[in-house]
Amino acid sequence: MGITYSSLMAIGRSETDETDVAHGEEIPEAIRAIRTRRSGHNFDPDAELDDETLEGLIRDAALAPSSYNLQPWEFVAVQDDDRLDEVVELAYGQEHVKEAGTAIFVVGHTEPETADRVFEEWVEAGRFDAETGEQVKEQTVAGYQSEQAGRDYAIRNASLAAENLLLSAHARGLTATPMSGFDFEGVAEFLGLPDDKIPVVLVAVGPSGGDEPERLPRRDVDEVLHREHY
Ligand SMILES: Cc1cc2nc3c(=O)[nH]c(=O)nc-3n(C[C@H](O)[C@H](O)[C@H](O)COP(=O)(O)O)c2cc1C
């Protein structure tokens, strides 16, 4: 890596950009959180995340939507100093992971391992009759047949959980950054993941160390919104 995320942190700090998103409108807290969330790189290396907060973050992440509510994800939190050094190495030297103090790997299932249990819950809740529940489960399981499909589901579902995690961290006043700049195979081995689980995103999270650089521009709605056809 020539220019690293760590070197980018130093550029263009601003104290006002975070709050200048509502343009004077009254906006609901959730929307404010979406608009002010940032991928922060400035952590307080001396402050730690307590267990209650960690569990709260995971509870919020796990409220993300998932295909048929399969919840095909796991979260592996690394907080041990020596292990964080290894995470930095696996993340090609991104030191902010260590400074954050907590690295949460959002892991996706490439196999529908929760299907039996979850479809029973659909039926128990009266949302499907038993026969429909069985049919939908079979279709869902069949959808995972190819390796590509399994990975796609893992990434789709786990990515939504990761965004929830980021928003929850932000709403709690913490700094968090999603990261995919890491050695996927090395991380799978480091975490001891079984073959049917993949590391999707690493979220570095911890107490803030202060301001962040100004947000980079976003593409305009007119540019990204297509109506009826691309
Ligand atoms: C899939 C993905 C991978 C990313 N990988 C990294 C990473 O390896 N290191 C890092 O510091 N930030 C990483 N980021 C954060 C982005 O740089 C950041 O989201 C983007 O610049 C927009 O800034 P904002 O999130 O503050 O709005 C990643 C973000 C995403 C969604």
| Residue whose CA lies nearest to ligand 1 atom number 17 | 39
Question: How many Å separate Cα 189 from the centre of its chain?
Answer: 20
Please indicate, yes or no, if residue 4 is contained in any of the structural domains. no
Please indicate, yes or no, if residue 137 is contained in any of the structural domains. yes
Mutate to test the pocket of ligand 1, among 39, 92, 201, 218 (most ligand atoms within 8 A of CB): 39
Q: How far is the CA of 78 from the centre of ligand 1 (A)?
A: 19
In 99-134, which positions are buried (b, 16+ CB within 10 angstroms) versus exposed (e)?
bbbbbbbbbbbbbbbbbeebbeebbeeeebeeeebe
Of residues 9, 2, 7, 3, the one with CA closest to residue 175: 9
Contact between 11 and 213 (Cβ < 8 Å): yes
How many angstroms separate the CA atoms of 62 and 75, rounded? 9
For residue 8, give the ligand 1 atom closest to its CA.
11
One pLDDT digit (tens) per residue for the chain, 230 residues: 333 444 333 333 333 344 455 556 688 999 999 999 999 999 998 999 999 999 999 999 999 999 999 999 999 999 999 999 999 999 999 999 999 999 999 999 999 999 999 999 999 999 999 999 999 999 999 999 999 999 999 999 999 999 999 999 999 999 999 999 999 999 999 999 999 999 999 999 999 999 999 999 999 999 999 999 99
One-character DSSP codes across 4-62: -HHHHTTS-B-SSTTTTTSTT----HHHHHHHH--B---B-TT----HHHHHHHHHHHT
Local structure of 146: helix, strand or coil: coil
Structure-block tokens of residue 176: 């968090």
Contact between 144 and 168 (Cβ < 8 Å): no
Please indicate, yes or no, if residue 22 is contained in any of the structural domains. no
Please indicate, yes or no, if residue 148 is contained in any of the structural domains. yes
Residue 158 burial by CB count (10 A; 0-12/13-18/19+): exposed, middle or buried? buried
| Residue whose CA lies nearest to ligand 1 atom number 14 | 179
- For 73, the domain range is 41-224
Mutate to test the pocket of ligand 1, among 14, 21, 179, 205 (most ligand atoms within 8 A of CB): 179
For residue 26, the model assigns a pLDDT of 81
Dihedral, 213, 217, 218, 220 alpha carbons, nearest 10 = 150
Please indicate, yes or no, if residue 131 is contained in any of the structural domains. yes
| Residue whose CA lies nearest to ligand 1 atom number 5 | 179
Please indicate, yes or no, if residue 158 is contained in any of the structural domains. yes
Of residues 72, 54, 79, 114, the one with CA closest to residue 200: 72
Residue with tokens 């590391």: 199
Torsions phi, psi for 170 (to 5 deg) = -65, -45
Please indicate, yes or no, if residue 206 is contained in any of the structural domains. yes
Domain total of the chain: 1
For residue 212, give the ligand 1 atom closest to its CA.
26
Q: How far is the CA of 118 from the centre of ligand 1 (A)?
A: 32
| Residue whose CA lies nearest to ligand 1 atom number 25 | 39
Residues flanking ligand 1, CB < 6 Å: 5, 38-39, 41, 94, 177-181, 215-216
| Residue whose CA lies nearest to ligand 1 atom number 1 | 180
Assessment of whether the complete model's pTM goes beyond 0.75: yes
Please indicate, yes or no, if residue 214 is contained in any of the structural domains. yes
Q: For the domain that residue 194 is a member of, what is the CATH number? A: 3.40.109.10
Question: How many Å separate Cα 20 from the centre of its chain?
Answer: 25
